[in-house]
Structures are given as C-alpha cells and as structure tokens.
Amino acid sequence: MTLLEPLLAAPVVLLGSPVTWLELVAFVLALWMVFANMRVQLIAWPLAITSSLAYMVLFAHSKLYGEASLQVFFALIAAWGWWQWRFGHQADGTALRVRHLAPRARLALAALTLASWPALGALLDHVTDSDVPYWDALPTAGSVAGQWLLGRQYVENWPVWLAVNLVSIAVFAIKGLWLTVLLYALFAVLSVVGWRAWQRRMAVP
C-alpha cells in the first residue's frame, strides 16, 4: 500500500467521506466499460481488467475482502471474456451472438448462486475481519454469475447485474464509499438500458 499512497490521497470529500484519486479513476474506467458492454465493443474487456484492479485495491483498503477478491476474479475472467467475444463459438459452431439462456440453465445458475452466498459469507466471517461478511458475499456471488453470462453474451446478464448493483449500493453506503455508491446507482440504471439494448439487438435479423 505504501507505493499506492499518492492514489489513496483524497482530493474531494463527498457526504463527509473522502474520495480518493484511485476511486475517481476506477469510477471513470468502470462507467466507460459498461457503455462499451452495452454496445458489445471489445474495448470493454481491457477496461474491465484495469478498473477491476483499481477497485481491488480500493476495496481491500476498505476491508471489503469479498469484493476485493471478486475484482481479482473479474480481472481474470475479463481476459476469458475478451477471448470469448473475439473467438468464442456457440454450441452449433457459429460465432457468439446476443441470445437468451435456456430456462433450465437459468434455474441451475440461480440455485448455484443462492447456494454459494451463505457459504461465501461464512468463509468471510471466519477468515477475515470484515464487519459485513454476508452483505459482502451476496453481490460477490451474484457477480460471478453475471460475469459468466456477460462473457457468453446472454441477455440475462443484465437483470443479474441490476440485482447485484442494488445490493452493492447498500454495501458501499455502509462503508461510506459515496462515489462508488453513485457509480453503482448509475450501473443499476444502465443495467436496465443495457437489457433493453440487447433485447433490441436480438430483434435485428
């Protein structure tokens, strides 16, 4: 953290809490990433890697270890998503396109996500000093599902992100990360916009 101290300096105070340079940079990169995702642009993935690494440091500094670990996962899976959007194929061998996940697969993914939430919360409660382990674990578990859905271009990634973003707003408010609260509020709105944009994309032959 010593090398990162200049980035952890706070040029702005928002609602009584300091906003660091690191949070400002991560905010801009993450917002740009979502707009690129909405347009199915490859640049979304390098933006995802960079913003995730920035948020990893920020969340670890705020003792949100589940969210910090999730950012490492995001950075890794962003490389996979980048490859998927560039070279990935569907089951029939055609290039990836925006589409719906099969109903049975939706149920399986929902069940797996809900089962992983308390398990992850218990892990964070026992091995870290997090004061919000289960609140931290819920968006973490949901984000894993959302990122997989996004990488495979399933429309369902957007309602998953909407739910994740709404819970995350509460978590970051508890921690006083007000700029990040604003970011996730924007994410929630953009999740709805992205959902509609991908549905329109599916309707185009």
Q: Which residue has the higher pLDDT, 152 or 127?
A: 152
pLDDT digits (tens, 9 = 90+) for 1-32: 555 666 565 546 655 666 778 888 888 998 99
Question: Quick one: which H or E segment has residue 12?
Answer: strand 12-14
pLDDT digits (tens, 9 = 90+) for 163-179: 999 999 998 888 888 87
> In this predicted structure, what is the pLDDT of residue 205?
57
pLDDT in tens, 91-143: 888 888 999 999 999 999 999 999 999 998 898 888 877 788 888 888 888 98
Q: DSSP assignment of 123-179, as one string? A: HHHHHS--S-HHHHHHHHHHHHHHHHHHHTTBTTHHHHHHHHHHHHHHHHHHTT-HH
Q: CA–CA separation, 82 vs 129, rounded Å? A: 34
SS3 content of the chain, % helix, strand, coil (to 5): 75, 5, 20
The model carries a pTM of 0.81
Q: What is the mean pLDDT of the chain?
A: 86
Instruction: Determine contact, residues 54/21, Cβ cutoff 8 Å.
Output: no
